Amino acid sequence: MTTLLRRTPAEPTHLQSDTPKHLGWVMLTAMGIGATIGAGIFAMPGMIAMKAGPAGILSFIITGAVILFVGICYERFSRVVPHGVSAYSYVYHSIGEIFAWIVAFGLFLEYSFGASAVSIAWSEYLKKAVGYSLPAFWSGPTHVNGHFEFGINIVALAAVTLVTLICIFGGVSKSAKLNFALVCLKMTLLVVFLIAGIKHINPANWTPFMPKGFTGVLQGAALAVFPYVGFDALYTFARESKSLRDTRWATYFCVSVVAFLYVAVMAVATALAPAFFDGDPTKPNSLFVGTEAAAPLAMLLGAVGEDWTARLISIGAVLGIFNVLLVLSMGGPRIFRNMAEDGLLPPAFAKTKHGNPVFGLAVNGVVVGAMAGFLPFGDIAEMMVLGTLVAFIFVCLGALRLKIVNPIVAVFGAVGCAVLAAHLGPLVLKVYSITLPVGLVIYFLYGKKHSKLAKAG
């Protein structure tokens, strides 16, 4: 048991020397916002409205409050473990190796599921922006009358391939600059959506406000964790931050801006059309369900006659969501890079080119492409949330153990994440109960024996 709980020092001696320090607080904030504004606002309001109705506004507020406390723990860890990357390094230093592995494997699945879901959303916005149509088989798998129908989402698969190539050959600095430009575009698009949507707000659509009660609000809040994955993605770039001050400012700017925009867009979206007809949860509005709900903002504007604006949003979202996919695809391989540096994965995952872990990016591209091409949007979107919450819980517990935050902050963050995890769907828990043992098998077959801490011991 002692070997499973061995912990890394705050200043590891086996760091890669080629990690560039080139990301200031503006670029770091943009990286965080780049992964969150898009995955949440452009793709998730429909699914959250199906859980909570108009009270999805409260869902985003609750999740934002929990994430703020988690964010404080992350920011304090960035001071204690300045060369760490995301929850993996923080848990490895504070709790132990086996828990760090669980967190890292969950985060990789989280980024993979997230990137897959975002690529599907991107394909839907592209369809509305360009107006193309494909045979049903090439548009991806679907659920029809409760039955699964096989298909291949060839557009989402192509998007994943393109992003993977950009990450491998473009380098970190170029990718960050592209991300910043796309973040500016998305912020402009959201302002356009709010201005166009406010003219058509119908307060009657907010009644009943909680069609599924407070339980529905918590279910929506659990799903609202999906957008906030970009917050963790910000910390996968912590080693490339110019200073701790830049990381700290980026944390609070990212959480504040994202929370405000989520609430504003959700309020307008649920006011444009009723989530449920006659307030009956058994009568969902087609604008909020199905694969096309991956592009809810364009659909809602089109439904109230804002066709030109809907097309503009779709065209912009094609570019805007693309950078969410870019950031998520860059995050997972960086966790694998640190794991390889710690000896928990083969050395190939630690090798970099232009600051990017090439082998990890290639593996990530294959996994993400397979899920994006062969799984439905709704199933993927919920899958990634549990891995995120598990990581957040362990980060809070680690911060509590090291006493680097006020105990109330750590306990509130951990308990809040646990409550949200308890309101996820049963399918999510079933998938996690299968993937977690697979990850542990890899650890015991390779990681436990090759760990640098084991060799040092």
Q: Does residue 399 register a pLDDT over 80? A: yes
Query: Distance between CA atoms of 201 and 448, rounded to whole angstroms?
Result: 57
Q: Does residue 394 register a pLDDT over 90? A: yes
Contacts of residue 69, defined as CB under 8 A and 6 or more positions apart, other chains included, come to 396, 409, 410, 412, 413, 416
pLDDT for res 405: 92
Query: Distance between CA atoms of 70 and 62, rounded to whole angstroms?
Result: 13
pLDDT for res 17: 45
CA nearest neighbour of 217 among 156, 275, 155: 275
Which has more confidence, 285 or 421? 421
Query: Distance between CA atoms of 288 and 273, rounded to whole angstroms?
Result: 9
Copy the structure tokens of residue 243. Answer: 């200073």
Query: Distance between CA atoms of 164 and 369, rounded to whole angstroms?
Result: 10
Q: Is the dihedral of CA 341, 346, 351, 356 positive or negative?
A: negative
Query: Distance between CA atoms of 224 and 51, rounded to whole angstroms?
Result: 10
Which has more confidence, 240 or 123? 123
Query: Distance between CA atoms of 413 and 404, rounded to whole angstroms?
Result: 14
What mean pLDDT value characterizes the chain?
Answer: 80
pLDDT for res 409: 94
pLDDT for res 16: 46
Instruction: Name the least confident of 54-68, 69-83, 397-411.
Output: 69-83
**DSSP 3-state of 153:** strand
Query: Distance between CA atoms of 201 and 264, rounded to whole angstroms?
Result: 12
pLDDT for res 382: 67
Query: Distance between CA atoms of 122 and 248, rounded to whole angstroms?
Result: 31
What global pTM score does this model have?
Answer: 0.79
DSSP state of 444: I
Q: Which amino acid, one-letter code, is at 261?
A: L
Copy the structure tokens of residue 50. Answer: 């199906």
Query: Distance between CA atoms of 328 and 307, rounded to whole angstroms?
Result: 31
Instruction: Name the least confident of 15-24, 31-40, 239-248.
Output: 15-24
Q: CA torsion, points 389, 390, 393, 394, in degrees to nearest 10?
A: -150
Q: Does residue 146 register a pLDDT over 70? A: no
279: left (phi over 0), alpha (psi -120 to 50) or beta: left
Query: Distance between CA atoms of 420 and 430, rounded to whole angstroms?
Result: 16
Query: Distance between CA atoms of 194 and 183, rounded to whole angstroms?
Result: 17
**DSSP 3-state of 200:** coil
Query: Distance between CA atoms of 255 and 253, rounded to whole angstroms?
Result: 6
CB 314 within 8 A of CB 43: no
CB 361 within 8 A of CB 396: no
Query: b vs e for 57-78, b when ≥16 Cβ sit within 10 Å of the residue's Cβ?
Result: bbbbbbbbbbbbbbbbbbbbbb
Q: How many CB atoms lie within 10 A of CB 155?
A: 21
* CB-count exposure of residue 406 (10 Å: 0-12, 13-18, 19+): middle
DSSP string for residues in 119-139: HHHHHHHHHHHH-----GGGB
**Residue 144: what are its φ and ψ, rounded to 5°?**
-120, 115
* CB-count exposure of residue 445 (10 Å: 0-12, 13-18, 19+): exposed
Query: Distance between CA atoms of 316 and 76, rounded to whole angstroms?
Result: 36
Mean pLDDT, to the nearest integer, of 406-415?
Answer: 95
Query: Distance between CA atoms of 237 and 84, rounded to whole angstroms?
Result: 9
Q: Which amino acid, one-letter code, is at 8?
A: T
Helices (H), 347-446: 358-374, 377-402, 407-422, 426-442
Query: Distance between CA atoms of 56 and 45, rounded to whole angstroms?
Result: 8
Q: Does residue 290 register a pLDDT over 60? A: no
Q: Does residue 147 register a pLDDT over 80? A: no
Q: How many CB atoms lie within 10 A of CB 101?
A: 26
pLDDT for res 15: 46
Query: b vs e for 126-135, b when ≥16 Cβ sit within 10 Å of the residue's Cβ?
Result: bbbbeeeeee
Chain segment 191-243, per-residue pLDDT in tens: 888 888 888 888 888 988 998 899 999 999 988 887 776 666 677 666 667 77
Q: Does residue 309 register a pLDDT over 60? A: yes
Q: Which amino acid, one-letter code, is at 73?
A: C
CB 371 within 8 A of CB 111: no
**Domains located in the chain, CATH noted:** 25-456 (1.20.1740.10)
